[in-house]
Amino acid sequence: MTARPAPVGTGPYPPGPYLLFDIDGTLVDSSRLITDVWRQVAAEFGADADAILAVCHGRRDAEVVPMFFAAADVPAVMARIQVLEAAGGDLLSPVPGATELLAALPADRWAAVTSGPSRLMTGRLRSAGLPVPAVLVAADHVAEGKPDPEGYLAAARALGAEPADCVVIEDAPAGVTAGRRAGMFVVALTTTHRAPALGEAHHVLDRLAELPTALAARARTS
């Protein structure tokens, strides 16, 4: 996890809460890559790809793999996933609205909290043409992954923010639960799951470009 960034100007985005983004499905459209990788490893090691894809989003590979693969195969499956993910950069693109939103945010007001390893997720952001934040909390920075709140609380500390001053932007139930457990306002995008699966969120959006609407609703209720 990187250190707290130095303060910068407010930029064109209006002052408001600190924004803590998940990456896959929230900033980076990695749905094709994730689906392809899990289907490939499932086929190679004899697992149920549909069952994996139903629960894997927003969770660390190290937690998902033991749920579906024989213990003896876990190291090989993990290694294979890393190879396939590293080779799939051409399947990545920014979520619509992400490029414009991040360009407008002050660098000291946002962070990323991801269930992927830091090196992979940094490369994923760059492959999608998005900036790497000064604060990025990844799978290798925490002892417990989502739905545990550890990652979001770590990001808030690195930004010098209180949990109540943070808004989490997520696309998966595990991440929504993590944000709620951290005591933060949670906005969910329906990029990966339908709205009923994200019901624990304070606000559910179909498009990232609608985020200012959710922030305005939060301001009215705070």
Q: Which mean pLDDT values do the consecutive 10-residue runs of the chain (222 residues) have?
A: 38 71 94 92 97 88 94 96 87 94 94 92 93 95 95 97 97 96 97 92 95 89 75
pLDDT (0 to 100) of residue 185: 97
Would you state the pLDDT for residue 88?
83
- Which of 100, 130, 136 shows the shortest CA–CA distance to 30? 130
Torsion of CA 184, 187, 191, 195, to 10 degrees: 110
pLDDT at site 15: 60
Helix extents (H) in 28-113: 31-45, 49-55, 61-68, 74-86, 98-104
Largest CA distance in the chain: 53
- What are residue 204's DSSP bridge partners? 188
Q: Which pLDDT value is given to residue 19?
A: 97
Helix then strand then coil, in percent of the chain rounded to 5, is 50, 15, 35
Question: Tell me, what's the pLDDT at 130?
Answer: 97
Q: What is the CA radius of gyration of the chain?
A: 17
User: What is the rounded CA–CA span in Å between residue 32 and residue 24?
Assistant: 11
| Rounded distance between C-alpha atoms, residue 118 and residue 120, angstroms | 6
50: annotated active-site residue = no
**pLDDT reported for residue 7:** 31
Residues 193 and 173 sit within 8 Å (Cβ to Cβ): yes
The residue type of 7 is P
Question: Would you give the DSSP letter of residue 90?
Answer: G
Task: Say whether 24 is catalytic.
Answer: yes
> Does the pTM exceed 0.85?
no
